[in-house]
Amino acid sequence: MSEIFTAAAVVLVLTMAAGLVRVVVGPTPADRMMGVQLIGTTGIAVLLLLGFAFEMPALADVALVFALLAAVSVTALTRRRVGQDRS
Amino acid sequence: MTIAWRLLGFCGLWLIFTGWNPGSWMIGVPSVLLATWAYGQLVGDSRAPSAARTLGFVLFFLRESVRAGVDVASRILRPRMRISPGFQTYRMRLADPSARVLFIDSISLLPGTLSADLVHREEIRVHALDATLDLAPELADLERRVGRLFGEELTKEKHGHV
Amino acid sequence: MEILLETVSLLLVGAGAFFFAVGTLGLVRLPDLFCRLHALTKADNLGLGLVIAGLLPWAADPFLALKLVLIWLLVMLSGATGSYLIAKRALRGDGEDLLE
Amino acid sequence: MTAGLLLLFDLVLVTTLVGLAIAALISPDLRRAVMLFIAFGLWLALVWARLRAPDVALAEAAIGAGLGGALMLAAARRAARRASANGGIDAEGGEA
């Protein structure tokens, strides 16, 4: 079974690498952030698959941190503009 | 009564995080108390849905998310993508704050729709991949289900298409 | 029995990987920000859900299985809320550093 | 079978990691560099997980990508604001 999980992880890492195109070309920071979110979500799946392939349940905790992190970085990015700068 | 349920819920959450490990409760008890207090500060009183209704909604939700994924995949995979994006406005009638949050979040996971903005506390601007369809009936159905989950009966007529 | 379980698991994980690939393709291919958000939220949530459903039977203890389900719920919550926030700021044009 | 798959996995992981690092370093736009840095942190966490070190991966994801990313985002925003206040010519992040 662990071969299947590893193979799926390889496929997912390839799609993550393809999604990096959106982080590099943009055009807006929001698009880049969406690319980062995609990496986060796919990374969770990769971590879980690796955790089952290597029989290391501790990797599920890393996946949990990834899930929380996506929320933090999106909230940090979507702050509303405050009055002081460029109207 | 609600406090007890929240305490129980956060204890369960801690159990999921750490597994069956008695030593972990040294940090667990303060964390659970803090989380219960913070939850009470952030969320006002809101009726808790019953177990049977929650199960029904979860089943509906799973079916809809599979439909949504297949829908979006079939649109993307065509060589010429079948999309005509645009915005529509929907007037929300739910009153319960938790129900409103659940409704707005579920719209984004429904086939072809994405909640984009909330204006004047009741008008939701919904972005659709295919804006030529009228979204109001489907949204009204979802709203009725969310309302029923929180014990709020919405009548079937005059769903608020603006 | 074992074979059946393995087949079901294989199918679920494979379908999950397919939806992740579609989500990535959509993110690269779709024309504007809002459409890309559609691909991001829906395809990825379904992909992760399918992968987790495929992994569930192999979880060593029930706590791990519950943790996997919790991860899925968290991702759905943060995905839906994050896409709402991004769409709202982009629509109103008042995000501090979203569009420029 | 598994060894070959893992080799492929490692190759993809390492190539992209180095590519991400270079892209983050040479990026002229500060906020783009920060985004690439966050992606780099996530990717590095994956590498640690692959090397069977979940505790290091945990620290990298939480501190390197999460906290560090959010703080650097705020710093880049402040730098861009100061550059536009100074006329937007001197600082490299100032696309005004």
- For the segment D30-69, what is each residue's pLDDT rounded down to a tens digit? 888 888 898 899 999 999 998 988 899 999 888 888 888 8
Overall domain count for chain B: 2
DSSP B79: S
Tell me, what's the ipTM?
0.85
Q: Do B13 and B66 share a domain, yes or no?
A: no
The domain in which residue C15 lies consists of 2-92
| More confidently predicted of A12 and D29 | A12
Measured CB to CB, residues of chain A less than 8 Å from chain C are: 1, 4-5, 8, 11-12, 15-16, 18-19, 21-22, 28-31, 33-35, 37-38, 41-42, 44-45, 48-49, 52, 57, 60, 63-64, 67-68, 70-71, 74-75, 77-82
Q: Do B26 and B89 share a domain, yes or no?
A: no
Overall domain count for chain C: 1
pLDDT for the residue A14: 92
Contact A35, C27 (CB under 8 A): yes
Checking if the pLDDT of B46 tops 70, the result is no
Q: Mean of the per-residue pLDDT values for chain A?
A: 84
Domain annotation covers residue C98: no
The residue assigned the tokens 């919904």 is B126
> Are D58 and A61 in contact (CB < 8 Å)?
yes
Chain B neighbors (3+ CB pairs < 8 Å): C
pLDDT 10s digits, A61-75? 899 988 888 888 888
Dihedral over Cα of C71, C77, C81, C83: its sign? positive
Q: Do B29 and B73 share a domain, yes or no?
A: no
| More confidently predicted of D37 and D3 | D37
Query: What values do phi and psi take at A80, rounded to 5?
Result: -80, 150
Domain annotation covers residue C15: yes
pLDDT for the residue C96: 64
Q: Using 50, 70 and 90 to split pLDDT, how confident is the model at B44?
A: low
* Of the candidates A68, B76, D38, B14, the residue with the CA atom closest to the CA atom of residue C27: B76
Residues C51, C48: Cα–Cα separation, whole Å? 5
**Pair of tokens at residue C64:** 């791990």
Tell me the shortest Cα–Cα distance from A70 to chain C, in angstroms.
Answer: 7
Q: Mean of the per-residue pLDDT values for chain B?
A: 81
Checking if the pLDDT of D18 tops 90, the result is yes
- Looking at residue A42, its amino acid is T
* Pick among A38, A55, A68, A72 to test the C interface (most C CBs inside 10 A): A38
Q: What DSSP string runs through B112-129?
A: TEEEEEEETTTEEEEEES
Checking if the pLDDT of B162 tops 50, the result is no
| More confidently predicted of D94 and C95 | C95
Checking if the pLDDT of B54 tops 80, the result is yes
Query: What values do phi and psi take at A81, rounded to 5?
Result: -65, 130
**Pair of tokens at residue C24:** 């990535």
Q: Which residues contact A27 (CB under 8 A, 6 or more apart)?
A: none
> Are A20 and D39 in contact (CB < 8 Å)?
yes
Q: Do B65 and B114 share a domain, yes or no?
A: yes
pLDDT 10s digits, D64-88? 888 888 888 888 888 877 877 776 4
Chain B residues touching residue C30 (CB < 8 angstroms)? 76, 81, 83
* Of the candidates C16, A63, A34, the residue with the CA atom closest to the CA atom of residue D45: A63
> Are D65 and A77 in contact (CB < 8 Å)?
no
Q: Output the CA angle A44-A49-A52, nearest 5 degrees.
A: 125
Between A16, A34, A71, which is nearest C36 by CB?
Answer: A34
Residues C82, B109: Cα–Cα separation, whole Å? 12
pLDDT for the residue D94: 41
Chain D neighbors (3+ CB pairs < 8 Å): A, C
> Are D35 and A61 in contact (CB < 8 Å)?
no
Interstrand relation of B160-161 and B113-119 (parallel, antiparallel or unpaired)? unpaired
The domain in which residue B20 lies consists of 2-42
Checking if the pLDDT of A84 tops 60, the result is no
Q: Using 50, 70 and 90 to split pLDDT, how confident is the model at A42?
A: very high
* Ranges of each domain in chain A: 2-77
Q: Which residues of B135-147 are buried (b: 16+ CB within 10 A; e: fewer)?
A: bbebbbebbbbbb
**Pair of tokens at residue C75:** 């991702």
| More confidently predicted of B47 and A3 | A3
pLDDT for the residue A19: 87
Residues B141, B41: Cα–Cα separation, whole Å? 32
Checking if the pLDDT of B148 tops 70, the result is yes
pLDDT 10s digits, C21-79? 998 988 888 888 888 888 888 888 899 999 999 998 888 788 888 999 999 999 998 88
Residues C37, C30: Cα–Cα separation, whole Å? 9
* Pick among B72, B101, B113 to test the C interface (most C CBs inside 10 A): B72
Q: Using 50, 70 and 90 to split pLDDT, how confident is the model at D17?
A: very high
Checking if the pLDDT of B77 tops 50, the result is yes
**Range with the lowest mean pLDDT among B90-104, D10-24, D29-43?**
B90-104
Domain annotation covers residue C99: no
pLDDT for the residue B16: 86
Residues B148, C52: Cα–Cα separation, whole Å? 29
- Put simply, whether C28 touches A (Cβ < 8 Å) is yes
CB contacts < 8 A (A, D):
108
* Ranges of each domain in chain D: 2-85
**Pair of tokens at residue A83:** 């009055």
Interstrand relation of B123-128 and B86-91 (parallel, antiparallel or unpaired)? antiparallel
pLDDT above 70: percentage of residues in chain A? 91
- Beta strand segments in chain B, E: 86-91, 113-119, 123-128, 160-161
Instruction: State the greatest distance between any 2 C-alpha atoms of chain B, in Å, as a whole number.
Output: 59
Residues B154, B156: Cα–Cα separation, whole Å? 6
- Is the bond preceding C62 in cis, omega lying within 30 degrees of 0? no
**Pair of tokens at residue D56:** 């290091």
Helices and strands, number each (H, E), in chain D: 4, 0
pLDDT above 90: percentage of residues in chain A? 18
pLDDT for the residue D91: 44
Checking if the pLDDT of A44 tops 90, the result is yes
Q: Do B111 and B155 share a domain, yes or no?
A: yes
> Are C87 and B105 in contact (CB < 8 Å)?
no
* Cα end-to-end distance, chain A, whole Å: 58
Checking if the pLDDT of B123 tops 60, the result is yes
Q: Using 50, 70 and 90 to split pLDDT, how confident is the model at B132?
A: confident
Span B38-63, average pLDDT:
80
pLDDT for the residue C14: 92
Q: Using 50, 70 and 90 to split pLDDT, how confident is the model at D21?
A: very high
Q: In chain C, which among 29-58 make CB contacts under 8 A with chain A?
A: 33, 36-37, 40, 44-45, 47-48, 51-52, 55, 58
| More confidently predicted of B8 and A26 | B8
Checking if the pLDDT of B161 tops 60, the result is no
pLDDT above 70: percentage of residues in chain B? 91
